[in-house]
């Protein structure tokens, strides 16, 4: 069975030594009393929950899967999942970063993000149950009425109830303007919803007493397309005025999807047959309201892949240090054994360091992003809130797409380290690969994220948001420009920054003549931007490591070595990506459809 050790030392390094997060958080009234010891203690306990409670259920949950009783429409999660969820609720973990007004602990989102990384490493399928609940909480906290907040937020915060997002229908995925589910207004102000949804993660289960479904549907007089979508709360059980549970609502699980991975999570087909719901926000404005949950989910999917990258790396390293196979090309390294351990071989090290660099780079990027989110939500300065909103908006598609692409690469590499054993279920590595694959697809495929980044976030405002991140990079380069020890990191960072600026301008000019140029370049463009972001954070981490190197702590030497590997072996991928992004759309679009 795979093992997992929470990477607390690295989290503390990023939080306290690279980002100086506590000082930034203390400047926010909501977090004025926060301190490093509190954060460290919370994450240490969170790591114990992840490693000791849900990690042992990961492999068994994958093998058992979820069970649907077609007569009752009830779903049973794998053995141990319900009991683990009870411990999660008992420990107060659902309330970690929620509003104290609704029973939350009010801790920074950055702390919650670290908790979710650890839980995703331990058991992604299980973690999706509370993860979706947090997204539902965020949506209702932002757009719900006072009555809806009173009725639902305390129970979502405590974890007594869970939540879902019901968007997709069989005939439409990302193109929600095509959805057909209907909502009929009733005399009492409620609505009756009819329709069918598919791919609803955690859509039905036995972990909690109630499930709060957030459902997109159309009113009778709604305009066509995405401008005619409204958002509704449709609970599994109706809620009485005093908050107690009432009758079973007519929203049921009609089937479970048979999936490649995340078997322990119930991916449900949801049928609404006149189910009672209440409108969230304004009629026909549901998509904007749901985007709060969708964006939270996109950041959450990035955390899923970050968690898988980390745990796959840990297990591959342990195997590579133990498995003996052949002799080192440069001479015997383990003379007391009949062969050398495979960690002596250059390509094994390349695979391991790729996973490590993507895990540690992704962690720094994710923690910085959620720190900006904390500032956006809690700062009293409107300019700071606006600035952080722009940065979070810009990087959200990069968090989702770049981290999930990297996890697919990293988990595949780590399985390869195991050789034939990696392909065998008992070792656990093939599960990480299977689980990682969905993260590139749901919550908007990575191509959709790429179109969002290039089309909306960059070209849509003539590069204004991109320039704000570019300013951070430029300031760092200016600060370290005369530091000789930093040139191996600063120079390639500066070079890539210039190339991104030129590439953006070139694609923008082409797009004026032919919009397909955006579609042709978007995926490569996002990956280039992802490397720009990683290069920036790896340079920042290298700076701290260089400053602490003389102290003798091997942690800093390892960090510096990984930074050098990233700049030498992974960042050069951008040269090819830039070239293919510039190649344009002609070679993609000129072939007649009949010839495919």
List Cα–Cα distances, 102 to 156, 213, 292, 481, in angstroms: 9, 19, 18, 48
**Token pair 């009555």 in the structure block, residue:** 147
Q: How many CB atoms lie within 10 A of CB 516?
A: 15
Report the C-alpha gap between 590 and 592 in whole angstroms.
Answer: 6
3-state secondary structure 262-313: CCCCCEEEEEEEEEEEEEECCCCEHHHHHHHHHHHHHHHHHHHHHHHHHHHH
Give one DSSP letter per residue of 185-251, joined into a string.
Answer: E-TTS-EEEEEEEEEEET-S-SSSSEEEEEEEEB-TTPPSGGGGBEEEEEESEEE-TTS-EEEEPSE
Angle at CA 196, nearest 5°, toward 194 and 198?
Answer: 155
Give the Cα separation of 280 and 490 in Å (integer). 48
Length of the chain counted residue by residue: 596
Distance CA 43, CA 316 (A): 24
Closest CA to 532 of 452, 461, 459, 469: 469
Pairing verdict, β 210-217 and 230-235: antiparallel
Distance CA 498, CA 579 (A): 15
| Continuous H helices in 32-108 | 36-49, 58-64, 81-90
Asked whether the beta carbons of 237 and 246 are under 8 A apart, the reply is: yes
* Dist. CA 405–CA 305, nearest whole Å: 8
Nearest to 503 by CA among 571, 404, 576: 576
**Where in the sequence numbering do the catalytic residues fall?**
443
Strand (E) or helix (H) holding 253: strand 251-256
Q: Distance between CA 525 and CA 353 in Å, rounded? A: 24
| Residues sharing a CB contact under 8 Å with residue 244, sequence separation 6 or more, in sequence order | none
Contact yes or no for 405/524 (Cβ under 8 A): no
Cα-only R_g, the chain: 24
Nearest Cα to 308, choosing from 408, 236, 424, 220?
408
DSSP state of 324: B
State the Cα–Cα distance between residues 525 and 522, nearest whole angstrom: 5
CB 15 within 8 A of CB 110: yes
Could you give the CA distance from residue 544 to residue 299 in angstroms, rounded to a whole number? 26
């Amino acid at each position: 069975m795979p093992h997992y050790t929470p990477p607390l030392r690295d989290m503390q390094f990023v939080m306290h030594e690279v980002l100086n997060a506590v000082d930034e958080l203390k400047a926010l009234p909501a977090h004025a009393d926060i301190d490093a010891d509190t954060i460290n203690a919370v994450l240490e306990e969170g790591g114990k929950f992840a490693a000791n409670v849900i990690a042992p259920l990961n492999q068994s949950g994958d093998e058992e899967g979820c069970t649907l009783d077609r007569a009752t429409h009830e779903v049973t999660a794998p053995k141990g999942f319900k009991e683990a969820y009870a411990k999660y609720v008992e420990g107060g973990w659902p309330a970690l970063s929620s509003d104290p007004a609704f029973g939350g602990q009010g801790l920074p989102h950055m702390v919650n993000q670290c908790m979710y990384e650890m839980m995703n490493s331990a058991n992604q399928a299980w973690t999706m149950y509370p993860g979706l609940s947090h997204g539902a909480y965020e949506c209702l906290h932002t757009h719900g009425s006072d009555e809806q907040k009173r009725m639902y937020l305390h129970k979502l915060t405590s974890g007594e109830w869970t939540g879902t997002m019901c968007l997709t229908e069989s005939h439409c995925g990302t193109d929600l303007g095509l959805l057909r589910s209907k909502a009929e207004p009733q005399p009492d102000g409620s609505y009756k919803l009819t329709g069918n949804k598919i791919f609803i993660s955690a859509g039905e289960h036995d972990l909690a007493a109630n499930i709060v479904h957030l459902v997109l549907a159309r009113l009778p007089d709604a305009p066509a397309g995405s401008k005619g979508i409204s958002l509704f709360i449709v609970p599994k059980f109706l809620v009485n005025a005093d908050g107690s549970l009432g009758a079973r609502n007519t929203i049921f699980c009609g089937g479970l999807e048979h999936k490649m991975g995340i078997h322990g999570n119930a991916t449900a087909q949801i049928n609404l047959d006149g189910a009672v719901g209440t409108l969230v926000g304004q009629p026909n404005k549901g998509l904007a309201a749901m985007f709060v949950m969708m964006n939270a989910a996109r950041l959450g999917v990035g955390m899923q892949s970050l968690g898988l990258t980390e745990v796959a790396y840990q297990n591959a390293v342990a195997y590579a240090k133990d498995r003996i196979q052949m002799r080192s090309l440069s001479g015997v390294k383990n003379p007391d054994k009949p062969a050398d351990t495979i960690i002596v071989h250059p390509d094994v090290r390349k695979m391991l360091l790729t996973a490590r660099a993507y895990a540690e780079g992704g962690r720094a990027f994710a923690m910085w992003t959620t720190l900006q989110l904390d500032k956006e939500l809690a700062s009293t300065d409107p300019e700071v809130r606006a600035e952080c909103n722009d940065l979070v908006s810009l990087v959200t598609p990069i968090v989702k797409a770049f981290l999930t692409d990297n996890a697919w690469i990293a988990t595949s590499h780590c399985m390869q380290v195991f050789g034939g054993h990696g392909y065998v279920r008992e070792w656990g590595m093939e599960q990480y690969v299977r689980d990682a694959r969905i993260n590139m697809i749901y919550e908007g495929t990575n191509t959709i994220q790429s179109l969002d980044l290039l089309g909306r976030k960059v070209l849509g405002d003539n590069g204004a948001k991109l320039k704000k991140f570019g300013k951070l990079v430029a300031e760092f380069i200016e600060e370290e420009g005369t530091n000789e020890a930093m040139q191996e990191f600063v120079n390639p960072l500066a070079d890539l920054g210039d190339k991104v600026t030129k590439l953006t301008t070139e694609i923008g000019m082409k797009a004026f003549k032919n919009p397909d140029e955006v579609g042709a370049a978007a995926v490569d463009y996002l990956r280039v931007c992802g490397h720009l972001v990683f290069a920036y954070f790896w340079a920042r981490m290298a700076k701290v490591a260089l400053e602490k190197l003389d102290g003798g702590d091997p942690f800093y030497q390892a960090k510096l070595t990984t930074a050098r590997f990233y700049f030498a072996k992974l960042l050069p991928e951008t040269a090819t990506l830039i070239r293919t992004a510039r190649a344009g759309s002609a070679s993609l679009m000129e072939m007649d459809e009949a010839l495919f």
